Structure 1
Amino acid sequence: MSAPAAEDGTAERGTGVLGLLRHNAAFRALWSARVISFTGDSLSLVALMLHVAGSTGQALAVSLLLLVGDFAPALLGPITGAVSDRFDLKRVMIACELIQGVVLLLIALLLPPLPVLLALVAVRAVAGQVFQPASRAAVPALVPERALETANSTLGFGTNSAEALGPFVAAALLPFIGVRGVLLVDAASFLLSAVLLASVPSLPPAVSQEQGPPVSLLRQARLGLGYILSAPAVRVIGLGFCAVVAFNGVDDVALVVLAKETFRAGDSAVGLLLGSVGVGLVLGYALLARYGTRASMPVLLLAGFAVSSVGNLLTGLAWAVSAALAMQTVRGLGIAAMDVATNTLIQRVVPPGMLGRVFGNLYGAIGVAAALSYVGGGLLLDATSAPTTLIVAGAGGTLATLLVAFSLPGALRKSLAAPEAPRSEP
């Protein structure tokens, strides 16, 4: 895959945040499109949850909505990633945004009964799952190699700020335009995102299939899984990330119980605890966007794993809400670090023709790990207490970090020494 940004002299004027956004039109378009669609998505999530809760009166219906929107598409990770490696990334991203916009438009106009609504939400979620690896695989083709840390941090800052802002915007809009109006705003955000992405240069697949018969999508998906199993660095990073999430993903549920039952605090304390991670995330991305190029990505990855895990462990030992708030804010810094380091390392060690499949499988597996954490952590929470659950989660994540620290240096040496994957697939 060519790197238009590297060939465009304007893109070389700066590799800092302002340099990328000001002089790299293609990256600016991708960044703007993702921020706009993430904002709209967070709006519609609030609106749909309120609509389902109000129309059905059942908590199970809301749970099904979240399950269809988050967990189910994660199971399609091998396929969604293969789509990114098979077709022009620009066309894939635009198609995904248009599909999501049309689906949201249908939901807004029809407000269908729950079974139809869940089916439409599933279609939108699958399109979003295809978009995710495509957008991550596009970054190395749009920015200079030395600016990957800054680009990934800038994207993380923009999208996480949008997700944090979205519920507040939804709360402000709902009294005036209602659920249907908020959903229409989300549909418009996806359509605007597609328009912005139209200015991104063509990003054709890096792998040529001219030397043999066309490879099926399922065959490409299998080859992607095989590559991950055979690439030491990708395997260690992926397993480590999933292990940390599998241990620590339960913290959202545990924090609610910690505030309510352990600290005997009110709903405002719950909101502050849940929001403190987001504050740390946004701050972490901002710091990494400014100083990320000075950091070693393997060290940053391990630091992120460690801080995100130890943050939960120390939260379990906290003596007051204020102490738990501080620990969760610091934990957000760690999550930002592990996300930026993971994306940057993968973009550097994985051949362009495999990037979509690696990202698709990785973030699909992370979604599954989070679901397992909710189930296992929920059982542990019921059997013990919130502090115990957080301590166990943090300790498990810390142990996983130590295992990654032991394995990663050798895995990186092997991956960097290995020849690049062939340009055609059997």
Structure 2
Amino acid sequence: MTDVADTRKTSAWTIPAYRYLLGSEAVSLTGSGVSAIALPALAVLELRATAGQVATLAFLGQLPSTLALWAGALSDRHAKRFQLLVSDLVAAAALTTVPAAALAEVLTIGQLYGVTLAVGAAKVVRDAAAISLLPAIVAPHLLHDANSRLGATSSVADSAGSNAGAALVGAVGAAQSLLVDAASFLASAVLVRHIRVPKPHPVPAEAKKRHGLSRDIAAGVRYVIGQPTIRTVIAALSVLSFGLALMNTFWAYYLLTTLGASPTAFGVIMGVGGMGSLAGALLTSRITDRFGVGPVIVSGFAVSPLAQVPLLLAGPGRGWQIALAATLFVQLFWATAAGVTQRTLRQILCDPAFQGRMQAVSTTVTAGSRPLAAATAGALVLVVDVPTVLAVGALLQVVPVLLLLASSVRTLRTMPTPPAPAAVPPAREGAS
């Protein structure tokens, strides 16, 4: 049993279960950063994959995100820690088959497709369980601190994993590098094994009747639609994600061609942006305490379209590259601060029985908008130029700001009081 209800605690770090979850996220994200480099490198450099096969591999990597609603329903129905364990072990097992097949000289692009799908599906289930487990092990007044630490850890882990992946591919080869990701999932499983979660609140016997996953999913969607603040924030996230994805389709292309940035300069700009994200995660609690929950969320969304103005005005030259790096730092600083804050707000407002499905709805509408945005960008560039496509993406990012300003979010100064649990089937955690 955890001490999640102890309101005397002032930091999420003092909760053992949270430390294990944070460590689990850190090692698995670092390993995934290695695979993000090693898998495409393996396909291109060792299997001599065609452009179409590389595109298929990338598509299959995104395809499991369509399972988010089902994963969310599973996380609300079954023990979250068990799902974390199984997901880690499945991902580790799938990844291990690649270096084994490479050693036996039987590795094919088809196997990479299968491994990508298996690992992607395991990670979707894992992410749904992990993000909905957090409110069960951390008291509401510590959720903001907990999410802030998770955000900072994610920024560091992603960067460390990518850098390690590039080094490992050069040192031991792409196939053997995947053993690091497999080991990271095994290490994550060991940490998850130590997490202790509280028993769920008892509910009436009639509320425990089993329903199909489809009915659970439908109930989750209806719940989100019926919660004004949660609904508005997720809608704003969806439109912002679409606008950013529209721009990101040609963002790197525009910098490297029209603006003449070298690969090194492009890497520096991205690195500076990553530093902004880390700073935003570390300072979000202080910023929110000073300015209030609503203003931080609205400001984070408002900075995004404003940050696109220098890009649209920029020309070649180092001065503009410095300006773009500084702008990206500010954009990602506020985006991360707002992201941590809105995620905490949604977790606090959401009934515990719907945590997994609420997060899954958010994942589905935000991640699902990206392929559509990429296709839209491809269609637009057939009739207008790239700067116009970028401008359309920037203008779309104004819409989420208007949605938030028209809602009660803008008036929030502190996190609200969590609602009473509803009499619906909870996740059967037990003390496992």
TM-score clears 0.5: yes
CA contact (8 A) 2:83 2:129 kept: yes
Displacement of 1:158: 0.3
For residue 155 of structure 2, what is the aligned residue in structure 1? 160
Partner Cα separation in structure 1 for residue 418 and residue 36 of structure 2: 44
Deviations 1:37-82 (A, max 9, x none): 0000010111101011121332222222222112x12211210100
1:272 and 2:268 are equivalent in the alignment: yes
Alignment pair present for 1:370 and 2:374: no
Could you tell me how far 1:235 is from its partner in structure 2?
Answer: 1.4
Residue identity opposite 2:370 in structure 1: A
Match of 1:5 in 2: 4
SS in 1 for 2:314: coil
- 1:76 lines up with 2:67 in the alignment: yes
1:252 counterpart letter in structure 2: N
**What is the match of residue 301 of structure 2?**
305
C-alpha change, 1:84 and 1:402, in structure 2 (3 Å) is same
Alignment of 1:351-366 (within 5 A): 351-366=351-366
What SS is found at the alignment partner of 1:75? Answer: helix
Deviation, 1:184, is 0.6
Per-residue deviation, residues 145-174 of structure 1 (Å, max 9, x unmatched): 212111101101101211112121112222
Bigger proportion of residues as helix = 1
Structure 1 residues 271 and 419, CA, compared in 2 at 3 Å: closer, same or farther? closer
Partner AA of 1:283 in structure 2: A
* Paired position in structure 1 for 2:29: 38
Shift of 1:378: 3.5
Aligned position for 1:220: 216
| Structure 1 CA distance for aligned equivalents of residues 222 and 388 of structure 2 | 38
Alignment of 1:61 onto 2:53: yes
> What SS class does the counterpart of residue 108 from structure 1 fall into?
helix
Aligned to 1:87, which of 65, 78, 81? Answer: 78
8 Å Cα contact 1:97-1:190 kept in structure 2? yes
| Superposed CA offset, 1:374-407 (max 9, x none) | 2222333454444333332122101331122113
Pair 49,202 (structure 1): closer, same or farther in 2 beyond 3 Å: same
Partner residue, 2:42: 51
The residue that corresponds to 1:144 in the other structure is 139
CA–CA distance in structure 1, aligned partners of residues 400 and 171 of structure 2 = 48
Say whether 1:175 aligns with 2:170.
yes
Contact residue 93 and residue 197 of structure 1 kept, 8 A = yes
Q: What aligned pairs does 1:81-160 form with structure 2 within 5 A after superposition?
A: 81-111=72-102, 112-160=107-155
| Residues 404-419 of structure 1 aligned to structure 2 (within 5 Å) | 404-409=404-409
Of stretches 128-137 and 390-399 in structure 1, the one that deviates more from structure 2 is 390-399
- Kindly provide the amino acid, as one letter, of the partner of residue 395 in structure 2: A
Pairwise CA distance, 1:131: 1.3
Q: Are the aligned partners of 1:12 and 1:144 in contact in 2 as well (CA < 8 Å)?
A: no
CA RMSD of aligned residues (A): 2.7
Identify the range of structure 1 (296-305 vs 350-359) with the bigger mean alpha-carbon deviation: 296-305
Q: Which residue of 1 aligns with 2:430?
A: none
CA contact (8 A) 2:310 2:327 kept: yes
Mean Cα deviation higher: 402-411 or 247-256? 402-411
The corresponding residue for 2:193 is: 198
- Contact residue 3 and residue 140 of structure 1 kept, 8 A: no
Cα pair distance change 1:36/1:411, threshold 3 Å: same
Deviates more, 1:192-201 or 1:388-397: 388-397
In the TM superposition, residue 240 of structure 1 has moved relative to its aligned partner by: 0.7
Q: Which amino acid aligns with 2:405?
A: A
Shift of 1:106: 1.7
Deviation at 1:315, TM superposition (A): 2.0
- Give the Cα–Cα distance (whole angstroms) in 1 for the partners of residues 49 and 92 of structure 2: 27
Which amino acid letter does the alignment assign opposite residue 277 of structure 2? L
The two structures have a TM-score, normalised by structure 1, of: 0.89
Tell me the percent identity: 25
Q: State the Cα deviation string for residues 307-337 of structure 1 (Å, max 9, x = none).
A: 1232123322234222222212211113202
The partner residue of 2:244 within 248, 254, 270 is 248
Deviates more, 1:395-404 or 1:148-157: 395-404
Aligned-partner residue type, residue 172 of structure 1: A
AA in 2 matched with 1:268: T
Q: Distance in 1 between matches of 2:200 and 2:176?
A: 38
**d(CA) in 2 for partners of 1:48, 1:209:** 49
Segments of 5+ residues of structure 1 without an aligned counterpart are none
SS at match of 1:6: coil
Determine helix, strand or coil for the equivalent of 1:62.
helix
Mapped to 2, the partners of 1:408 and 1:359 lie a distance apart of 20
Structure 1 CA distance for aligned equivalents of residues 199 and 304 of structure 2:
37
- Structure 2: state its 5+ residue gaps: 427-432
Length, aligned pairs only: 415
Cα displacement (A) at 1:363: 1.0
